[in-house]
């Protein structure tokens, strides 16, 4: 791929949760040199680049999404030199590096916030955040009724130098993550400098944390009875001006290479997502809708259709300006692994609540082989869709969610803030198994400290080295599927055609679509589906095939003769 190709359009990007990927120095915490050591694995897997979860200095109250310094790299992860080594080694292998940028909030340890706390009400630094007086007689009630995404009030009261209660500050997430005030010019300027700093260091782009938030409803009013906090903290029209500005910064930095801005956009509608993809805003935005769908053909088809229709509308608005593209995803560090979501056969009555909890982090009894068969089939749909695809580390091993972490080990602020009502996200962040017969399954070197989250005994069954030797392994399947995408799909026109399924199957059973001469068929139920001859030769399947009968759950790609 040439340096100036629009690689972000259909790249396959591998998400690295650094702390849990590979530990090079034996402290039980993954680090950047650990990532560099595994680049051969990623290259062989067939991805085009890596998105690194935040690697900046941070107290680590929310896995690094609480940043104390946007211009440096955490020493615990290897510091700036280790990131430089990783960027150079990745580029040598023609792999892109995306960093995570977190513009909605920082850490309470950030110097601006520390200075703001030391100031009286109305101080200059306080303007860069959302400080307000409380309601009630003595200001003892939060300034409004907004809720944190991590449960509980979105406000925390400060103490003044004399120990008396003071103003409140807004935090859409944990109380250690104060929200920036994006109306303040210094905040805007700070982030322009952050972007330039890392572009100059050689990174190829950014995944933008909660990209639709940033601007809040003017006056920070209470939300009404039929509204949620998100209605007032997300998708405010002014947020788009921020990304038009960032696009100018990234276009100017893109001398002799192509850079990408990729938004984490949680949204109610596909149109809200594609609104960020206008030609002068983001290059890509995650489409999470598909990830939240139940395992049903109609639900998957309708979700993809909604996305495609929204993209078409965008194109109609400005036919001469190429828009950004969607980023498709089924796994991340925020959700239960797809194997466990799709294999859930007995949901726990008190499953996850809260924002997105039930869809992304359902708890209960899992049929792992069923979940694996479904997850493999879903991958074949994802890889055929127009846009980029994001994989999450360990997905290529078919790892299930670790649902039963010991309570004392859990660290997610969602777990802590909900007093254990929500399990949160630790179960998809358990350090990866690389070698079956090695301490910490090869995550750390011999003689190292215990991994920062305990690995269950069964993790060895999924270890990379065991799968290397097995042509029927999930790892082998991912390699084959990614190679097929590169050969047959990458660079193809976006157009999708939905195919009719013979009457013997209900619409909830089978889904079939065609793109670039490839027919993708997915059987959701357990009734086998006979693939019509006119669909062509099978070139890829999620499981072994008996003639032209595709067993459910399963998927295949066929090439027209
Ligand atoms: C979204 C990130 O993916 C998640 O891990 C984080 O906790 C929140 N944003 C807050 O930064």
What is residue 301's three-state secondary structure? helix
CB-CB contact of 403 with 363 (8 Å): yes
| Ligand 1 pocket, residue 173 CB under 6 Å | yes
Buried b (16+ CB within 10 A) or exposed e, 476-494: ebbbebbebbeebbbeeeb
Q: Angle CA(549)–CA(551)–CA(554) in degrees, nearest 5?
A: 115
**398 closest CA partner among 350, 366, 362:** 366
Rounded to 5 degrees, φ, ψ at 282 are -85, 155
**Ligand 1 centre from 193 Cα, in Å?**
22
CB-CB contact of 293 with 356 (8 Å): no
Note the pTM of the prediction, 2 decimals. 0.97
DSSP string, 237-260: TTHHHHHHHHHHHHHHH-SSS--E
What is residue 161's three-state secondary structure? coil
**97 closest CA partner among 17, 15, 23:** 15
| Ligand 1 pocket, residue 209 CB under 6 Å | yes
**Ligand 1 centre from 336 Cα, in Å?**
14
| Ligand 1 pocket, residue 210 CB under 6 Å | yes
Q: How far apart are CA 416 and CA 110, in angstroms?
A: 22
Q: How far apart are CA 135 and CA 122, in angstroms?
A: 17
Q: How far apart are CA 201 and CA 114, in angstroms?
A: 28
The CA-based diameter of the chain, rounded to the nearest angstrom, is 81
| Ligand 1 pocket, residue 62 CB under 6 Å | yes
**289 closest CA partner among 261, 329, 347, 262:** 329
165-170 and 388-392 beta bridge pairing: unpaired
Under DSSP, the state recorded for 141 is B
Atom of ligand 1 nearest to the CA of 333: 5
| Ligand 1 pocket, residue 102 CB under 6 Å | yes
377: tokens are 């089939």
Q: How far apart are CA 153 and CA 140, in angstroms?
A: 13
CB-CB contact of 130 with 181 (8 Å): yes
| CA-to-CA separations, 366 to 259, 418, 508, in angstroms, rounded | 40, 24, 21
Q: How far apart are CA 234 and CA 408, in angstroms?
A: 34
| CA-to-CA separations, 269 to 42, 51, 265, 315, 360, in angstroms, rounded | 33, 25, 10, 17, 17
CB-CB contact of 550 with 541 (8 Å): yes
518-523 and 554-559 beta bridge pairing: antiparallel
Rounded to 5 degrees, φ, ψ at 307 are -65, -45
Place of tokens 């949204």: 267
Rounded to 10°, the helix 239-253/185-200 angle is: 30
Q: How far apart are CA 429 and CA 436, in angstroms?
A: 18
Buried b (16+ CB within 10 A) or exposed e, 358-386: ebbbbbeebbbebbbbbbbbbbbbbbbbb
Structure confidence at residue 352 (pLDDT): 57
Residue closest via CA to ligand 1's atom 2 equals 209
Q: How far apart are CA 129 and CA 31, in angstroms?
A: 31
Task: Classify residue 28 as exposed, middle or buried by CB count within 10 Å of its CB (0-12, 13-18, 19+).
Answer: middle
18: tokens are 């650094």
Q: How far apart are CA 372 and CA 198, in angstroms?
A: 38
Q: How far apart are CA 221 and CA 557, in angstroms?
A: 51
Structure confidence at residue 243 (pLDDT): 98
**Ligand 1 centre from 14 Cα, in Å?**
17
CB-CB contact of 13 with 98 (8 Å): yes
Task: Classify residue 157 as exposed, middle or buried by CB count within 10 Å of its CB (0-12, 13-18, 19+).
Answer: middle
| Ligand 1 pocket, residue 65 CB under 6 Å | yes
| Residue from 20, 52, 108, 173 whose mutation best tests the ligand 1 pocket (most atoms within 8 A of CB) | 173
Q: Where are the beta strands (DSSP E) in 272-311?
A: 284-287
* pLDDT tens, position by position, 10-63: 999 999 999 999 999 999 999 999 999 999 999 999 999 999 999 999 999 999
10: tokens are 């259909």
Atom of ligand 1 nearest to the CA of 102: 11
Residue closest via CA to ligand 1's atom 6 equals 65
Q: How far apart are CA 187 and CA 192, in angstroms?
A: 9
Q: How far apart are CA 240 and CA 229, in angstroms?
A: 19
Residue closest via CA to ligand 1's atom 10 equals 65
Residue closest via CA to ligand 1's atom 11 equals 65
**Ligand 1 centre from 535 Cα, in Å?**
42
CB-CB contact of 86 with 127 (8 Å): no
**Ligand 1 centre from 242 Cα, in Å?**
19
The tens-digit pLDDT sequence of the chain (561 residues) is 566 679 999 999 999 999 999 999 999 999 999 999 999 999 999 999 999 999 999 999 999 999 999 999 999 999 999 999 999 999 999 999 999 999 999 999 999 999 999 999 999 999 999 999 999 999 999 999 999 999 999 999 999 989 999 999 999 999 999 999 999 999 999 999 999 999 999 999 999 999 999 999 999 999 999 999 999 999 999 999 999 999 999 999 999 999 999 999 999 999 999 999 999 999 999 999 999 999 999 999 999 999 999 999 999 988 888 899 999 999 999 999 999 999 999 988 655 555 567 789 999 999 999 999 999 999 999 999 999 999 999 999 999 999 999 999 999 999 999 898 888 999 999 999 999 999 999 999 999 999 999 999 999 999 999 999 899 999 999 999 999 999 999 988 888 999 988 767 777 799 999 999 999 999 999 999 999 999 999 999 999 898 999 999 999 999 987
Q: Angle CA(263)–CA(265)–CA(270) in degrees, nearest 5?
A: 120
Q: How much is the CA Rg of the chain, to the nearest whole Å?
A: 23
CB-CB contact of 165 with 140 (8 Å): yes
**Ligand 1 centre from 210 Cα, in Å?**
7
């Amino acid at each position: 791929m040439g340096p100036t190709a629009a690689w972000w359009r259909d790249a396959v990007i591998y998400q690295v949760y650094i702390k849990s990927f590979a530990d090079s120095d034996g402290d039980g915490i993954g680090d950047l040199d650990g990532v560099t050591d595994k680049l051969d694995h990623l290259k062989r897997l067939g991805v085009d680049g890596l998105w690194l979860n935040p690697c900046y200095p941070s107290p680590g109250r929310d896995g690094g999404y609480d940043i104390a310094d946007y211009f440096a790299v955490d020493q615990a992860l290897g510091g700036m030199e280790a990131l430089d080594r990783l960027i150079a080694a990745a580029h040598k292998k023609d792999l892109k590096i995306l960093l995570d940028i977190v513009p909605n909030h920082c850490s309470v340890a950030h110097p601006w916030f520390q200075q703001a706390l030391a100031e009286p009400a109305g101080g200059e630094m306080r303007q860069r955040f959302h400080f307000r007086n409380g309601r009630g007689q003595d200001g003892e009630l939060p300034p409004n009724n907004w809720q944190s995404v991590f449960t509980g009030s979105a406000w925390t009261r400060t103490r003044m130098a004399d120990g008396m209660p003071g103003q409140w500050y807004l935090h859409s997430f944990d109380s250690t993550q104060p929200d920036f005030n994006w109306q303040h010019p210094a905040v805007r300027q700070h982030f322009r400098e952050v972007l330039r700093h890392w572009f100059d260091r050689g990174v190829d782009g950014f995944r933008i944390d909660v990209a639709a938030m940033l601007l809040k409803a003017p006056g920070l009013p209470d939300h009404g009875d039929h509204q949620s906090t998100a209605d007032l903290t997300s998708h405010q029209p002014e947020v788009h001006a921020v990304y038009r500005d960032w696009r100018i910064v990234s276009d100017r930095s893109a001398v002799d290479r192509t850079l990408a801005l990729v938004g984490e956009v949680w949204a109610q509608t596909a149109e809200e997502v594609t609104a960020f993809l206008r030609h002068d805003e983001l290059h890509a935005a995650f489409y999470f809708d598909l990830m939240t769908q139940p395992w049903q053909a109609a639900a998957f088809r309708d979700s993809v259709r909604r996305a495609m229709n929204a993209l078409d509308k965008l194109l109609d608005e400005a036919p001469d300006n190429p828009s950004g593209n969607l980023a498709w995803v089924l796994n991340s560090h925020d959700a239960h692994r797809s194997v466990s979501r799709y294999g859930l056969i007995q949901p726990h009555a008190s499953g996850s609540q809260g924002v997105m909890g039930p869809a992304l982090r359902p708890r209960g009894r899992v049929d792992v082989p069923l979940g694996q068969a479904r997850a493999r089939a879903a991958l074949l749909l994802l890889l055929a869709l127009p846009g980029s695809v994001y994989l999450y580390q360990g997905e290529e091993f078919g790892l299930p969610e670790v649902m039963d972490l010991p309570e004392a080990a859990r660290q997610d602020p969602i777990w802590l803030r909900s007093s254990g009502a929500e399990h949160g996200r630790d179960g998809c962040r358990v350090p990866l198994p690389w070698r079956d017969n090695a301490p910490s399954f090869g995550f750390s070197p011999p003689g190292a400290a215990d991994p920062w989250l305990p690995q269950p005994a069964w993790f060895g069954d999924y270890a990379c080295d065991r799968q290397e030797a097995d042509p029927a392994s999930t790892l082998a399947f991912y390699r084959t599927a990614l190679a097929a995408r590169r050969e047959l799909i990458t660079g193809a026109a976006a157009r999708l055609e939905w195919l009719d399924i013979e009457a013997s199957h209900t619409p909830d059973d089978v889904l079939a679509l065609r793109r670039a001469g490839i027919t993708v068929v997915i059987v959701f139920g357990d009734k086998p589906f006979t693939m019509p001859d006119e669909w062509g030769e099978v070139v890829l399947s999620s499981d072994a095939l008996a003639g032209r009968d595709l067993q459910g759950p399963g998927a295949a790609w066929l090439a027209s003769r």
